[in-house]
Amino acid sequence: MVRVRLQDVAARAGVSVKTVSNVVNGYRHVAPDTRARVQLVLDEMGYRPNLAARNLRAGRTGVIALALPDLDNPYFAELTGSVVRAAEKHGLTVLVDQTEGLRDRELEVVEGFRNHLIDGLVMSPMALRAKDLTGRAAVDIPVVLLGEKFGAGAVDHVAIDNVAAAEAATAHLVALGRTRIAVVGDQPGSRRRSGVAHLRRQGWERALTAAGLDVDERLVAPVPAFDRQHGAAAVAALLDDGARPDALFCFNDTLAIGALRLLADRGIDVPGDVAVIGIDDVAEGRFAVPTLSTVAPDKAGIARTAVAMLAERLDPASEQRPPRDVRAGFELVARESTLGRSASAVSAVRAAAAVPPPRGTAR
């Protein structure tokens, strides 16, 4: 198949090659009627930009990296798919790296590991500290952080409000009449006061206080990691210690799925005896028995926003702005693990606005 050239499009549209190039590259200073006419010809002729040549001229690779702690975690696996789809729309390829949440691995990534291969980095850090980001001035690629924020003002950042998400999950249980709501996922030894476990515990405490319920430390189940095995083990320890919760708020869906299995093995009815809710809305939870109630972050919106921020930083024609902190939307999705199987349908309650795109990007 013969590749359609800019010259071919320009000849048919009756404009200069430069004008066609401006339309293809999204430059703003093109008359609307001219832009529309050129775009129509581009579509009719099936023009596809030569990304390799474009990147070579711009001194870019056309590749960005996505660094995540654990690709076995369903949330991160689903988020990876969303980032790849979002990057494709910007003509970018994604190189995926797994850090396992180890500080040395994360430092390698953020301080320039593979920088000769990539144009930018989207990263969900677990062990980095604020000084690791504020001291990275020598690194010449843009970075967007996902999840909890370090180094305020150092780089662009996208995350849900974890306190609000946890408060919404707990308030849902309170509204159902539950009064002994345990938390599964506390990590009291963490040095990161801004860490996800700390923030989600804070949301749990706020919801209990607002409802006039006591914060009972006997209903706090710590875990070393957010996975199924530790979710099951934490709930087993909670029950073996004599705690009698009537609900569990798990700090992610993977912990909750482990908890569901342990409760089933113990013959404890969900939600009759114990209601269960998580956070993340991973696909596995929709097929659990019973189906899992959860707080669903806008994963697609998080990915779109992060990639759009990065693409904007890569565009030399774009006005460079100070680092941005964007709050992503989330929904509370109530299913069988809190409502019971008699519920006629899934209940989805919008808890926050959709993620707004950065300036100059399309939804």
Question: Does residue 336 form part of some domain?
Answer: yes
For residue 45, pLDDT beyond 90: no
105: CB partners within 8 A, 6+ apart: 99
Does the structure show a pLDDT above 90 at 52?
no
304 shares a domain with 205? no
Confidence at residue 2, expressed as pLDDT on a 0 to 100 scale: 62
Q: Which of 26, 295, 309, 307 is nearest to 163 (CA)?
A: 295
Residue 109 shares a structural domain with residue 186: no
Q: What is the 3-state secondary structure (H, E, C) of the chain?
A: CCCCCHHHHHHHHCCCHHHHHHHHCCCCCCCHHHHHHHHHHHHHHCCCCCHHHHHHHHCCCCEEEEEECCCCCHHHHHHHHHHHHHHHCCCCEEEEEECCCCHHHHHHHHCCCCCCCCCEEEECCCCCCHHHHHCCCCCCCCEEEECCCCCCCCCEEEECCHHHHHHHHHHHHHHCCCCCEEEEEECCCCCCCCCHHHHHHHHHHHHHHHCCCCCCHHHEEECCCCCHHHHHHHHHHHHHCCCCCCEEEECCHHHHHHHHHHHHHCCCCCCCCCEEEEECCCHHHHCCCCCCEEEEECHHHHHHHHHHHHHHHHCCCCCCCCCCEEECCEEEEECHHHHCCCCCCCEEEECCCCCCCCCCCCC
Domain that holds residue 145: 57-159+299-328
Residue 191 pLDDT class (50, 70, 90 cuts) = very low
Asked whether residue 244 falls in the same domain as residue 292, the answer is: yes
pLDDT given for residue 346 in this prediction: 46
Q: What is the pLDDT of residue 343?
A: 53
User: Do 81 and 218 lie in a common domain?
Assistant: no
pLDDT over 80 (residue 129)? no
Joined together, the tokens standing for residue 185 give: 């996922």
Q: What is the pLDDT of residue 359?
A: 43
Domain assignment present for residue 16? The answer is no
Structure tokens at 288: 């659990």
Specify the pLDDT at position 357.
45
Do 179 and 131 belong together in one domain?
no
Identify whether the C-beta of residue 355 lies closer than 8 Å to the C-beta of residue 305: yes
Same domain? For 87 and 134 the reply is yes
pLDDT of residue 344: 35
Query: According to the model, what pLDDT value does residue 303 have?
Result: 96
pLDDT of residue 348: 45
**Are 122 and 95 spatial neighbours (Cβ–Cβ below 8 Å)?**
no
pLDDT at 29: 75
My answer on whether 182 and 147 are in the same domain is no
Contacts with 120 (C-beta within 8 Å, 6 or more apart), sequence order: 64, 65, 141, 142, 143, 144, 310, 313, 314
- Statement: residue 49 has pLDDT above 70: no
- Residues with Cβ < 8 Å from 212, sequence gap 6 or more? none
Q: Look at residue 50 in the predicted model and tell me its pLDDT.
A: 58
Q: Which residues pair with 347 in a beta bridge?
A: 334
Q: What average pLDDT does the segment 336-360 reach?
A: 56
Cβ(222)–Cβ(234) under 8 Å?
yes
Do the domain assignments include residue 363?
Answer: no
pLDDT for res 7 = 87
The span from the CA of 38 to the CA of 40, in Å, is 5
Mean pLDDT confidence for 67-87: 94
In a domain, 40, yes or no: no
Question: Looking at the structure, do residues 132 and 278 belong to the same domain, yes or no?
Answer: no
pLDDT attached to residue 295: 98
For the segment 133-145, what is each residue's pLDDT rounded down to a tens digit?
765 543 568 889 9
Lowest mean pLDDT among 125-139, 161-175, 328-342: 125-139
For residues 34-55, average pLDDT: 77
Q: Decide if pLDDT at 202 tops 60.
A: yes
The pLDDT value recorded for residue 149 is 64
Q: What is the pLDDT of residues 240-272, one digit of tens each?
A: 999 999 999 999 999 999 999 999 999 999 999
142: domain CATH number is 3.40.50.2300
Averaged confidence pLDDT in the chain: 85
Please indicate, yes or no, whether residues 144 and 178 belong to a single structural domain of this protein: no
Which range is least confidently modeled, 9-13, 126-130, 285-289? 126-130
Statement to judge: residues 194 and 305 lie in one domain: no
Asked if 136 and 149 touch (Cβ cutoff 8 Å), the reply is no
Which of the residue ranges 105-109, 211-215, 279-283, 313-317 would you say has the lowest mean pLDDT? 313-317
Considering the entire predicted model, what is its pTM?
0.77
Is 322 domain-assigned?
yes
| 210 and 81 assigned to the same domain | no
Q: For CA atoms 159, 162, 163, 168, give the dihedral sign.
A: positive
Q: What percent of the chain has pLDDT over 70?
A: 82
Are residues 198 and 311 located together in one domain of the fold? Answer: no
CA distances from 79 to 26, 122, 319 (A): 28, 11, 28
Mean pLDDT computed over 295-301: 96
> By percentage, how much of the chain surpasses pLDDT 90?
60
CA distance 189 to 224: 9
Tens of pLDDT along 154-190?
Answer: 789 999 999 999 999 999 999 999 999 999 999 986 5
Q: What total of structural domains would you count in the chain?
A: 2
Cis amide linkage into residue 224, ω under 30° from 0: no
At residue 363 the predicted structure's pLDDT band, cuts being 50, 70 and 90, is very low
**Residue 115: burial class (beta carbons within 10 Å; 0-12, 13-18, 19+):** middle
Specify the pLDDT at position 115: 61
Taking every pair of C-alpha atoms in the chain, what is the biggest distance, in angstroms?
Answer: 81
> For residue 195, what pLDDT is reported?
84
